[in-house]
Every structure is written in C-alpha cells, then in structure tokens.
Structure 1
Amino acid sequence: MSLTRQSSFQEQSNNSRGSLYLVGTPIGNLEDMTFRAIRTLKECDIIAAEDTRQTRKLLTHFEISPQLLFSYHEHNKSASGPELIRYIIEGKNLALVSDAGLPAISDPGADLVKLAIAEGINVIPIPGANAALTSLIASGLPTERFTFIGFLPRERKDVEKVLQSFRASQGTLLFYESPHRVIKTLNAILSVYGNRQVVLARELTKRYEEFVRGSVEECLEYLQEHPPLGEYCMVVEGTSVEEEQEQLAAWWQNLTVEEHVAHYETEGHPRKEAMKKTAGDRGVSKRDIYNALI
C-alpha cells in the first residue's frame, strides 16, 4: 500500500464526494449509544447494515429515518460493496453499522473500508461499545498486552492450528464463540494450552450479564450444570514468563521432527508412541507430526 494521508475534518480535497462513517452501536444496552453516533446516523444519506431488521429496531428507537437502508453482509458484499462505494463517489454520506458493537470487527465491514481507501474516500470512525474490550477490562486478567482472535475455524484440526500459533503468547487472548460451540472450544483450549485461567462473558450490558471466572476445567464443570446461552466472549490467560522460558529451554529445540521421533525410537518406543511423545513435547497434534514426516 502506498502512502496516503487523510485529514477527515480540516480538508476536503473533493467536496463532491461523500464519506464512509463507521458507527459503533450498542452491544446490548441502548443507553450505550453515543450522541455523536445518533447525530451521524441522522445526517448520513445511507445506512448500510449487516442485519437490516435488527438495525430498523435501533433506528426506530432513536427516531432515525435514513433516505436508504442498505443490506450489506458477508453473502452479498462482492456485489453490494462496489455499489455502496459508487454512492459515496456520487456525493452520498454513508454510515456502516454492524449487528452490534464496532463495524469491521469480525464482519464484512473491513472489506468495504479497503474499497473506500482504494478510492481515496475518507473513512471516519465513530467509536462505541466493543464486546471484546468490554470483556477484557472486567476479566481480572492482564490488560497490558492482548490479542484479539475472534471466531475460531469450524474444523478441529484448524482450531488446533490457530491455537498452537498463539501458544507462546504472553498477552491475554480474546475469542468470540457461539453457545453451541463454547464447550468444544474450551476442550480444545484445555488440550493445547492446559488448565489456564479463563473468563466466559455473555449478555454483556444486558439484564442477564454474566462473567464466569475460573480455570478451564472449572468453567467446563460449570457449563455442565448451566448450559451455554447467548453469544460468548472468552478471555484466556496468556502463557507465563516461566512457561515461555521452559519452552525455550526444551532439550529438543534444535532437533528436527524426524530427529525428535528417532530419539524416542532409540529409547525403545514403537514409532506410533514415539510420534505421540514428540507431539506432546511440541504441543501439537499427532496428525501434525505425521504430516511433517511425510
């Protein structure tokens, strides 16, 4: 990407063009809607929404009547994105909202932002609530460093691969998860990271807001008696300095996977057992070891 400069309010290099506003909306409690967000939605010509039915409820509550409410989501973004950019180039101001929270985080808004920047359109953020950061600040886990991971892949092997890539991260990890997958994800975290501290946050800012804090095993036990309900934000403890030092000091660090497996074979372990022990040392799945040896 070549160097660009945006001066959102001091300069307007092309007054005939509109701007793209990224408007944060409440993640539950409507009182979290900012005055600036309401004013922006009232002043914009077009509002693009991931779920227009949900957004209509919000607009009705705040008595906002846009000229056009446009559907923009993951399944139509390829066609709708360029059309929305054309409207802005023609002089329309466009506000983008997500189902809840900040647009362009775990939704197709990021693609529209890229298109706008490529066309030299001003992209103006209107801050608001965010589920991940809301969960983090109330978690009790370290906030100095953190990594937002969002939703994990569907396939178990892909889940393990993503988790492994953050295994050595000392910063707190932030995940989004649906209620029917949260137990599977906790089990995967337990398998890859061990019994770390975790916080399960749900119904944020709503009447039944809940934070469950404990080890992964304690949270799994809790969910057996209290089945998951609603969307979750999972806040997971990062690796400790001691754990990182232990990993770096591991005797097998300079061995290839093949040499690592061969080491256990020379100790008398069958090949399958040697591969299993190698996988355990490296914190990866047996399939990863198998694939590395092919």
Structure 2
Amino acid sequence: MSTLWLVATPIGNLGDLQPRAVEILDRVALVCCEDTRRTGLLLQHAGIRAERLAVCNEHTEYARIDDMLDVLGSGRDVAVVSDAGTPGVSDPGERLVAAALDAGHDVSAVPGPSAAVMAVTVSGLPTDRFVFEGFLPRKGRDRTERLAEIAAERRTVVIYESPQRVVKSIADLAAACGADRRVSVSRELTKLYEETVHGTLATVDLGEPRGEYVIVLDGAPVDDAEATDDEVRRSLAALLADGATARDAAAEVSDTTGRRKRDVYEIANALRNDTAGRGDTAGRNDTVGLA
C-alpha cells in the first residue's frame, strides 16, 4: 500500500533533520512543499536529489490533491513538508491527509521538530495538559471571541504569532486574561539567537520583536473554594430531573465542583429518596453504590 508521509523538518537548526526523514524524502516520488526553493536547499544540504517537488501552500493545497492521489494510485509514496516544523500544524497538510485517507491510502509521519512542543517544554508552565491555538484571528469579532475563550481556558495555551503582531497580541491577552497571568514567550527556537522570556502579561519584555514567536500562556486560575452542599444539591436536582441516574449525576457534579464523588453520591441518593417519598418518580433510576 502506498503511503502519504508527513515529514517534520528543522525549525532552524539543520542538525535536527532526522535520518529517517532523509530516507523517506530520498525515496518518495513526490515531495509536496510550501516553497520549492527553501525545501530544495534543505534537500541539497541532506544530499537528496528529489524526484519531483511541487508547491503545496495555503493557496494550492486543495489543487494538489489530485496530483498526490495520482502518485499514490500508481503505487508510489508521497511526502509532505512545511517550511519548518511538523506539516499540518498551522501549515498545509490537513487536506492532503483527509483526501489520502478517503481514497484508502495509508498515512504516516516522521516525527520531529515542533515549535509548539519545544516552547511548552521550556516554558516552566504546566505541561500535563495544554491546548494549541495556532495564530489568533487578526481582528474583529472572531478575535474578540477567541481571546475570551482563551481567558477562560484552564489548560496551558500555545499561540503562534508574527513579529509584526506579537506586541499587540500580548496587550490584548493582558486585557482579556488579566495583567498578572503568567506567560512564556519564545522566538528563533533552535537558531543562533534563540530566546525565551518569562514573566506576566504585564511585565514580559520582548525587546525589539523579530523572528517567529510562540506564546505559552498559563491556564485560567481554578477556584479552590469547595462547593457547598446546597450548591451540590441544586446541580444534582437539575440533572436528576432531566433523567440522569444518581450515579451519572454524581459523577458529573463531582467533576465540575471538585467534591468527592462518594460524598456527592450520598447527597444524590438522599435527594432521590426524598423525591420518591413525595411520590415523584423523577430520579428513581438506580440503587447501586460506588465501587
């Protein structure tokens, strides 16, 4: 079965090109890339004479699908690369992958450099859960709504930004999230002038913006105040009235309030029994205790 390969390429330091990436790029029949000149230089550095290069950027990716499918249909492999990093992550590749899968071809990848992952790991912020936002909308309602979503997001947030807009984006994030939200900002990752600065949205100093930026933003603070029994009862009553079992209602309320599941389940059982005593069948769904 022919395969579409997504091949990660260096985000700055050419020494990060993986040996398996060289192997794949050297044997495929077609390399789809954002810029043939830039990819040509990378291949030349690796000693590869590509059989064929074809432009696949944000404007031409859809038009490149038939070409890719023709090559895959002939039994040969195709590779996709971006100018830097992992294709398909804020770069072309997503449409090609969907089309290849729809046509029944295999899709695989040669993992490697990713600015988002590198920036998270050096940020000093929580890495157990994070969300990738890519580039923010440039203006208007879409930008306002996205900023509001980011402000409420409890996971660490990763954002890409250009040197022309990074200062404005930091200011807009401060307005939406609060000036004291922690942030790490990286630029020129793996390159000679690599730099990561840490601070808050109010204090982080970017100097003279240059290079591509990755903003890593701390998640929204979690309210540590434990929900009261009355608050738990109100939440449970609404779920039970909608037909949820006591077990399911307790699990959901426990997740949203942080209260122990066993304690919430006891309250749910009491509510259900009280409802049953009044002759109301709502919420009379199960009697199984928690394991």
TM-score range, shorter chain: 0.7 to 0.9
CA contact (8 A) 1:197 1:236 kept: yes
- What is the identity, as a one-letter code, of the residue corresponding to 1:104? G
Q: Secondary structure at the match of 2:152?
A: coil
Q: Which one of the candidate residues 234, 238, 241 is aligned to 2:222?
A: 241
CA contact (8 A) 1:168 1:244 kept: no
Q: Secondary structure at the match of 2:153?
A: coil
State the 1:155 CA deviation. Answer: 1.0
Using the size of structure 2 for normalisation, the TM-score is 0.75
Paired with 1:147 and 1:245, the residues of 2 have a C-alpha distance of: 26
Sort the Cα spacing of 1:245 and 1:169 in 2 relative to 1 into closer, same or farther, 3 A: farther
Paired position in structure 1 for 2:135: 151
Paired with 1:236 and 1:111, the residues of 2 have a C-alpha distance of: 29
Paired position in structure 2 for 1:70: 54
- What is the identity, as a one-letter code, of the residue corresponding to 2:214? C
CA contact (8 A) 2:9 2:113 kept: yes
CA contact (8 A) 1:160 1:188 kept: no
Paired position in structure 1 for 2:200: 215
Paired position in structure 2 for 1:250: none
State the 1:83 CA deviation. Answer: 1.8
Larger Rg over CA atoms: 2
Q: How many correspondences in the alignment?
A: 228
CA contact (8 A) 1:77 1:108 kept: yes
Sort the Cα spacing of 1:217 and 1:55 in 2 relative to 1 into closer, same or farther, 3 A: same
- What is the identity, as a one-letter code, of the residue corresponding to 2:195? E
Paired position in structure 1 for 2:94: 110
Q: Secondary structure at the match of 1:218?
A: coil
Matched, 1:38 2:22: yes
Paired position in structure 1 for 2:67: 83
Matched, 1:206 2:187: no
Paired with 1:155 and 1:71, the residues of 2 have a C-alpha distance of: 29
The gaps in structure 1 that reach 5 residues or longer are 1-11, 13-17, 247-294
Q: Secondary structure at the match of 2:21?
A: helix
State the 1:106 CA deviation. Answer: 0.6
CA contact (8 A) 2:130 2:156 kept: yes
* Cα deviations by residue, 1:228-261 (Å, 9 ceiling, x for unpaired): 1010000001012128989xxxxxxxxxxxxxxx
State the 1:63 CA deviation. Answer: 0.8
Paired position in structure 1 for 2:103: 119
Paired with 1:153 and 1:244, the residues of 2 have a C-alpha distance of: 35
Q: Which one of the candidate residues 173, 176, 184 is aligned to 1:192?
A: 176
CA contact (8 A) 1:102 1:128 kept: yes
Paired with 1:91 and 1:244, the residues of 2 have a C-alpha distance of: 61
* Cα deviations by residue, 1:38-63 (Å, 9 ceiling, x for unpaired): 11111111111011111011000001
CA contact (8 A) 2:29 2:71 kept: no
Paired with 2:142 and 2:41, the residues of 1 have a C-alpha distance of: 37
Paired position in structure 1 for 2:166: 182
CA contact (8 A) 2:62 2:95 kept: no
- What is the identity, as a one-letter code, of the residue corresponding to 1:74? E
Sort the Cα spacing of 1:145 and 1:230 in 2 relative to 1 into closer, same or farther, 3 A: same
Q: Secondary structure at the match of 2:203?
A: helix
Identical columns (%): 41
Paired with 1:244 and 1:229, the residues of 2 have a C-alpha distance of: 43
* Cα deviations by residue, 1:191-238 (Å, 9 ceiling, x for unpaired): 11112111110010111000010011112xx23xx2210100000010
CA contact (8 A) 1:198 1:234 kept: yes
Q: Secondary structure at the match of 1:159?
A: helix
State the 1:137 CA deviation. Answer: 0.3
Sort the Cα spacing of 1:244 and 1:57 in 2 relative to 1 into closer, same or farther, 3 A: farther
Paired with 1:230 and 1:243, the residues of 2 have a C-alpha distance of: 39
- What is the identity, as a one-letter code, of the residue corresponding to 2:137? P
Paired with 2:46 and 2:225, the residues of 1 have a C-alpha distance of: 50
Sort the Cα spacing of 1:85 and 1:244 in 2 relative to 1 into closer, same or farther, 3 A: farther
Paired with 2:169 and 2:158, the residues of 1 have a C-alpha distance of: 12
The gaps in structure 2 that reach 5 residues or longer are 228-291
Paired with 1:79 and 1:47, the residues of 2 have a C-alpha distance of: 15
Using the size of structure 1 for normalisation, the TM-score is 0.74
